[in-house]
Structure 1
Amino acid sequence: MTETNNQPIQAIVNAVKILDLINEKNEIGVREIAKILDIPKSTVFRIIKTLESQNLLVSTHEDEYAIGYKMLNYRAGINKEKNLITYATDSLKNFCKNTNETINLAIRNRDKTFIIYSEEGEYYSLQSNMLPESDLYCSSTGKIFMASMPEEDVMKYFSGNLTKRTINTITDYNQFLKEKQTILNTDIAYDHEEYEYGLTCVATSIKVKDEIIAAISVSGPTTRLKVKGFENLEKELLLTAKSIEGKIIANI
């Protein structure tokens, strides 16, 4: 009888070591990973690109790598209470109950924001056309993330070929700067029909230890949100964000 080879596969062992190191360092580059783990740089690069292709890692603005949000799917299976969606769900449901408006939980991946969970309120016709991902410049959640990005990164971002989706869409760096300070002061960002005519979104951040880890936004027809009162919606968003942050911090 042939004896079974129970030796571990070295490539997988190296991949786990790399994931562990990136998780420890939050963000780290290929050269430093290779040096710390004493793995050839070419090997590290191939493993990282494979993990990135499966959305287990994401490349940051400084050519470093961080853990991708797909890892939350695995964490949820092992330890649900540590899942961002699990922490947020009750608070989002409460917002929806209080306002009867749709609220979204979004995270950033490079130059886009991705809605990873929504609580749907009163229906509106534009809702069926909404995609789960948006560019940073034309979404309220995207502006929340951009306002805290390094200045040089924001300038570089706006130097690209940005599409003006509506007449309200901000595609100019200096125009964004006029909003940036207000966003930083109030922790509130608006999409004033900049993604789609007739649709307004209002967002705020989810922070842990002063780091933005996600954003939440309320979206709906401009006229309806105006009737309900933007100031009231802002207050509800801020209270919801604090509730989510409290649950996360309590479990760190």
Structure 2
Amino acid sequence: MTQSDAGPRTPVKTAERTLELVEFLKAADGATLSEATDAVDLPKSSVHNYLKTLVHHGYVVENDGTYEVGLRFLDLGAYARTRVPLYPVAEPELETVAEETGELANLLVEQDGRGTFIYRKKGENAVKIDSYNGQQILLHTTAIGKALLANLPEDRVEAILDRYGLPQKTENTITDREELFAELDRIRSEGFSYDDEERISGLNCVATPILQGDDVVGAISVTGPTSRMSQSRIDDEIKQQLRNAKNIIELNLSHA
């Protein structure tokens, strides 16, 4: 387990409180001072000072007494994405996949034991779901996350599961460790993973990993409604489109 998994030996309380407040504002989609105070174990005056400091630096904005996450974080996120070598290589290929399938094409990387969508491209018929670039997910709940897990070292997978567990998102989510490892074995053998309404009811997904040498650096997928993502369509059409994208991305990475 890396130090980031274990947490800092001497956490800085002010930094933890600041991050806790920002995470709460995100989860609550904005909050008043009173609501923020109720959410953290601090006096109201201290919460006010934290929020005003964040407002001063542009990380939080205040609208009619409601504090919201500011666009300054978008600057940081966009910069962080440019630091991922996979992103510029994969972006044009995912645009092609989205155009060809008409569905939602995705690029996910793993960091700190969770998956982060660093690019999502909507095709003409893509469903509108509550998702966005930068969104983080638990890896076991999706095809694209399982494609990553299947190609990580086993001790790394064990550490991720020890930290985050296997919480249930829908009735189809895998919540048993033995079942998950059996699924990961199948994914490694076939090269594709599937999500049968495991994170969001009504959505199916198929994914494949992106490898650089022996290391998994990300995964790509196509997501669509169950009515359009039949197994026959996945087998006859979508898997080949993902194979094509994977081949080009991996070749370009090897020569980058």
In structure 2, the CA distance between the partners of 1:87 and 1:188, relative to structure 1 (3 Å rule), is same
**RMSD across aligned C-alpha pairs, in angstroms?**
3.2
Distance between the aligned counterparts of 2:95 and 2:201, measured in 1?
27
| 1:183 aligned residue | 187
Contact 1:166-1:196 within 8 A present in 2 as well = yes
The letter of the residue matching 2:189 is N
| 1:139 aligned residue | 142
| 1:93 aligned residue | 95
Distance between the aligned counterparts of 1:155 and 1:166, measured in 2?
22
TM-score w.r.t. length of structure 2: 0.63
Q: Once the two structures are superposed, what CA deviation does each residue of 1:21-65 show, in whole Å capped at 9, x if it has no partner?
A: xxxxxxx989xxxxxxxxxxx9xx99xxx9xx99xxxxxxxxxxx
| 1:242 aligned residue | 247
TM-score w.r.t. length of structure 1: 0.64
Residue 73 (structure 1) aligned to one of 76, 79, 84: 79
| 1:6 aligned residue | none
| 1:170 aligned residue | 174
Deviation at 1:157, TM superposition (A): 4.2
Q: Once the two structures are superposed, what CA deviation does each residue of 1:151-176 show, in whole Å capped at 9, x if it has no partner?
A: 34434544554321111100111111
Residue 153 (structure 2) aligned to one of 150, 153, 170: 150
Deviation at 1:84, TM superposition (A): 2.4
Where 2:144 maps in the other structure, the secondary structure is helix
| Structure 1 alignment gaps of length 5 or more | 1-27, 31-41, 55-69
Where 2:108 maps in the other structure, the secondary structure is strand
Residue 123 (structure 2) aligned to one of 111, 121, 124: 121
Contact 1:154-1:173 within 8 A present in 2 as well = no
Distance between the aligned counterparts of 1:189 and 1:74, measured in 2?
27
Contact 2:102-2:126 within 8 A present in 1 as well = no
Percent identical residues: 27
Distance between the aligned counterparts of 2:173 and 2:150, measured in 1?
16
Deviation at 1:73, TM superposition (A): 2.9
Count of residues paired in the alignment = 187
In structure 2, the CA distance between the partners of 1:151 and 1:101, relative to structure 1 (3 Å rule), is same
Distance between the aligned counterparts of 1:206 and 1:189, measured in 2?
13
| 1:58 aligned residue | none
In structure 2, the CA distance between the partners of 1:227 and 1:213, relative to structure 1 (3 Å rule), is closer
Q: Once the two structures are superposed, what CA deviation does each residue of 1:120-167 show, in whole Å capped at 9, x if it has no partner?
A: 113455x33235221011011211121123334434544554321111
Q: Does 1:204 align with 2:208?
A: yes
Contact 1:72-1:83 within 8 A present in 2 as well = no
The letter of the residue matching 2:245 is T
Bigger mean CA deviation after superposition, 129-138 or 203-212:
129-138
Distance between the aligned counterparts of 1:74 and 1:162, measured in 2?
28
Where 1:162 maps in the other structure, the secondary structure is coil
Q: Once the two structures are superposed, what CA deviation does each residue of 1:4-30 show, in whole Å capped at 9, x if it has no partner?
A: xxxxxxxxxxxxxxxxxxxxxxxx989
Distance between the aligned counterparts of 1:211 and 1:189, measured in 2?
17
Distance between the aligned counterparts of 2:218 and 2:194, measured in 1?
16
Distance between the aligned counterparts of 1:197 and 1:179, measured in 2?
20
In structure 2, the CA distance between the partners of 1:83 and 1:154, relative to structure 1 (3 Å rule), is closer
Bigger mean CA deviation after superposition, 95-104 or 224-233:
224-233
In structure 2, the CA distance between the partners of 1:105 and 1:183, relative to structure 1 (3 Å rule), is same
Distance between the aligned counterparts of 2:158 and 2:89, measured in 1?
34
Distance between the aligned counterparts of 1:72 and 1:92, measured in 2?
18
Where 1:215 maps in the other structure, the secondary structure is strand
